[in-house]
Structure 1
Amino acid sequence: MREKIAAFVDGSEREAFQLLEQLVLQPSYSRYKPGVDAVGGMIAAGLAGSGMQLETVREQELGDQLVFRSPACRAGQPGILLLGHMDTVFPLDSNFNWYKEEAGRVYGPGVIDMKGGLVVAVFALRALAACGLLDKIPITLICNSDEEIGSPASTPLIQSFSAGSLLALVFECGGLTGEVVTGRKGRAGFQVKVTGKAGHAAFAGPDKASAILELAHKIIAIERLNDRQRKIVVNVGVIGGGLGPNTVADSARAEIDTRFLLFADGEETVARIEEIAGISTIAGTGAVLERTSERPPMEQTALNRELFQLVCREAEVLGLPCREELRSGVSDANTVALAGIPVIDGMGPTGDCDHSDLEYMVGESLPARTKLAACSLVSAWKYYGN
Structure 2
Amino acid sequence: MKTLTLKLCCSAALVALSPAAYAKLSPPEAKMIATVDAEYERSVALLERLVNQNSGTMNFPGVKTVGDMMRAELEPLGFKVEWLDMAKAGRAGHLVATKAGKKGSKKLLLIAHLDTVFEADSPFQTFVRNGDEAIGPGAGDDKGGIVVIVSALRAMQAAGTLKDAAIEIHMTGDEEDAGDPIDVTRAPLIAAGKAADVALDFEGLSIENGADMGVISRRSSNSWKLEVSGVTGHSSLIFDSTYGDGAAFELARIIHQFRTQLPEQNLTFNVGLIAAGQEASLDADGVRVSAKGKTNIIPGIALARGDFRTLSEEQSARVREKMLAIVSASSPKTSAKISFDPGSYPAMAPTEGNKALLASLNVVNRDLGLAQQATLDPLKRGAGDISFVANDVDGLVGLGAYSKGDHAPGESVDLASIKRQAKRAAILMTRLASGKGQ
Instruction: Say if 2:267 is the partner of 1:240.
Output: no
Alignment coverage as a number of residue pairs: 382
Residue 165 of structure 2 is matched in structure 1 by 137
Cα displacement (A) at 1:134: 2.7
Cα displacement (A) at 1:258: 0.9
Instruction: Give 3-state SS (helix, strand or coil) of 1:95's partner.
Output: coil
Residue of 374, 389, 400 corresponding to 1:336: 389
Distance between the aligned counterparts of 1:290 and 1:227, measured in 2? 20
Q: Give aligned-pair identity as a percent.
A: 28
Comparing 272-281 with 149-158, greater Cα deviation is found at: 149-158
Instruction: Say if 2:49 is the partner of 1:15.
Output: no
Q: Deviations over 1:224-276 (max 9, x none)?
A: 23435x12212222101212233222111111211122333221111011111
Instruction: Say if 2:411 is the partner of 1:359.
Output: yes
Instruction: Give 3-state SS (helix, strand or coil) of 1:148's partner.
Output: coil
Distance between the aligned counterparts of 1:327 and 1:105, measured in 2? 27
* CA spacing shift, 1:111–1:327, aligned 2, 3 Å: farther
RMSD: 2.1
Instruction: Say if 2:426 is the partner of 1:374.
Output: yes
Q: Deviations over 1:144-182 (max 9, x none)?
A: 111112462431111101001111100010012211211
CA contact (8 A) 1:67 1:141 kept: yes
Cα displacement (A) at 1:204: 4.6
Q: Deviations over 1:272-322 (max 9, x none)?
A: 1111122211x2221121112422221111100101111111122223332
Instruction: Give 3-state SS (helix, strand or coil) of 2:366's partner.
Output: helix
Residue 280 of structure 2 is matched in structure 1 by none
Cα displacement (A) at 1:343: 0.3
Residue 21 of structure 2 is matched in structure 1 by none
CA contact (8 A) 2:113 2:175 kept: yes
CA contact (8 A) 1:9 1:371 kept: yes
Comparing 147-156 with 213-222, greater Cα deviation is found at: 147-156
Residue 101 of structure 2 is matched in structure 1 by 72
Give the alignment's TM-score, normalised by structure 1.
0.93
Instruction: Say if 2:118 is the partner of 1:87.
Output: no
Instruction: Say if 2:339 is the partner of 1:290.
Output: yes
Q: Deviations over 1:30-59 (max 9, x none)?
A: 122111111111111122311111122112
Residue of 128, 139, 154 corresponding to 1:100: 128
Residue 183 of structure 1 is matched in structure 2 by 217
Instruction: Say if 2:352 is the partner of 1:325.
Output: no
Instruction: Say if 2:231 is the partner of 1:194.
Output: no
Instruction: Say if 2:193 is the partner of 1:162.
Output: yes
Give the alignment's TM-score, normalised by structure 2.
0.82
Cα displacement (A) at 1:14: 1.1
CA contact (8 A) 1:70 1:134 kept: no
CA contact (8 A) 2:310 2:316 kept: yes
CA contact (8 A) 1:53 1:71 kept: no
- Which segments of 5 or more consecutive residues in structure 2 lack a partner in the other structure? 1-27, 278-291
CA contact (8 A) 1:24 1:109 kept: yes
Residue 302 of structure 1 is matched in structure 2 by 352
Cα displacement (A) at 1:20: 0.5
Distance between the aligned counterparts of 1:124 and 1:375, measured in 2? 8
Distance between the aligned counterparts of 2:383 and 2:98, measured in 1? 26
Instruction: Letter of the 2:333 partner, please give it.
Output: G
Instruction: Say if 2:248 is the partner of 1:212.
Output: yes
Instruction: Give 3-state SS (helix, strand or coil) of 1:248's partner.
Output: coil
Instruction: Give 3-state SS (helix, strand or coil) of 2:76's partner.
Output: coil
Cα displacement (A) at 1:205: 5.5
Distance between the aligned counterparts of 1:92 and 1:48, measured in 2? 28
Residue 29 of structure 2 is matched in structure 1 by 2
Instruction: Give 3-state SS (helix, strand or coil) of 2:86's partner.
Output: coil
CA contact (8 A) 2:266 2:378 kept: no
Instruction: Give 3-state SS (helix, strand or coil) of 2:389's partner.
Output: helix
- Which segments of 5 or more consecutive residues in structure 1 lack a partner in the other structure? none
CA contact (8 A) 1:223 1:236 kept: no
Instruction: Letter of the 2:403 partner, please give it.
Output: G
* CA spacing shift, 1:346–1:385, aligned 2, 3 Å: closer
* CA spacing shift, 1:205–1:9, aligned 2, 3 Å: closer
Cα displacement (A) at 1:348: 0.5
Instruction: Say if 2:50 is the partner of 1:50.
Output: no
Distance between the aligned counterparts of 2:102 and 2:222, measured in 1? 35
Residue 313 of structure 1 is matched in structure 2 by 363
CA contact (8 A) 2:360 2:437 kept: no
